[in-house]
Structure 1
Amino acid sequence: MGKDSKAKDAGGKGKGKAPAGEDSGGGKGKGKGGGKSSDLGTCTYVKARHILCEKQGKINEAYKRLEEGWLGNGDKVPPAEFAKIAAEYSECPSGKKGGDLGWFPRGKMAGPFQDVAFATPVGTTSAPFKSTHGYHIILAEGRKN
């Protein structure tokens, strides 16, 4: 991902994106669970899927599908379902793998992508945001040190 200094909201309503102080536990709901809240700021690796689109309208369309299916009800998006939407909408080569980026360390991804990936609690989906590569949505699947 390219170097950026700040994440910019791409017009999403922010459902599924949690503040940095929220924990990373699993379960149903909007990102609240039984994990340590300190994991968000101190983890070394994150496992994530993403959707990348050049145009804001296309990423908003993908996000709307996530909202209609899960986020609008306060549910988490199942990784398999996120993968289907990533395969349909993402313009990144990872889209063919359901947007799977695997595990990556701090410092590998630049700017807002890294910021959002490491701030999104496990099991939750970020709101759309912009980087130098386009517009993204991230599903955080795991954290480790």
Structure 2
Amino acid sequence: MGKDSKPKESSKGKGKQAASGGEDNASKGKGKGGKSGDGLGTCTYVKARHILCEKQGKINEAYKKLQDGWLNNGDKVPPAEFAKVAVEYSECPSGKKGGDLGWFPRGKMAGPFQEVAFNTPVGATSAPFKSTHGYHIILCEGRKN
């Protein structure tokens, strides 16, 4: 509803971004919204990397590493650097590939993972969150319809 952390990480889709409901911005954003980087929550496909850890302490360590390198300075984590942290910390088989999940459609991923993946601005990194599989951090690399 009112996530304060999203606006400082939103250089790609300049302008106002909805945290979840696109209805309020539909009339304002239509003219500018032709880019694939816009349309938070309304796109059909997302390209993402993630880090998955069974324990909250481990995911917090990974997030701290990302914060110390980039996020505390308001910078976006470069995909290659996120990949290094994923290789080091992720317990998912995708961790060996830098956490790369490639492009996936809406409906393929479960509950909270899908919500975060489809609502994270392109280039931004999510805060750690919990799903039925464990604790995740997501880097959104792209979106398309």
Equivalent position of 1:31 in the other structure: 10
Displaced runs of 4 or more, over 2 A: 32-38
Equivalent position of 1:43 in the other structure: 43
Give ranges in structure 1 of 5+ residues lacking alignment.
Answer: 1-13, 23-28
Quick one: higher RCO (CA 8 Å, sep 6+), 1 or 2?
1
Equivalent position of 2:57 in the other structure: 57
SS in 1 for 2:104: strand
Offset, 1:42: 1.4
SS in 2 for 1:43: coil
8 A contact 2:12–2:123 mirrored in 1: no
Paired amino acid for 1:44: T
Alignment partner of 1:71 is 2:71: yes
Summarize the Cα distance change of 1:92–1:102 in structure 2 as closer, same or farther, 3 Å threshold.
same
- Report percent identity of matched pairs: 80
For these two proteins, the number of residue pairs brought into alignment is 122
Higher Rg: 2
Equivalent position of 2:94 in the other structure: 94
Offset, 1:33: 3.0
Report the aligned-residue RMSD. 1.9
**Structure 2 CA distance, aligned partners of 1:103 and 1:92?**
17
**Structure 1 CA distance, aligned partners of 2:42 and 2:128?**
24
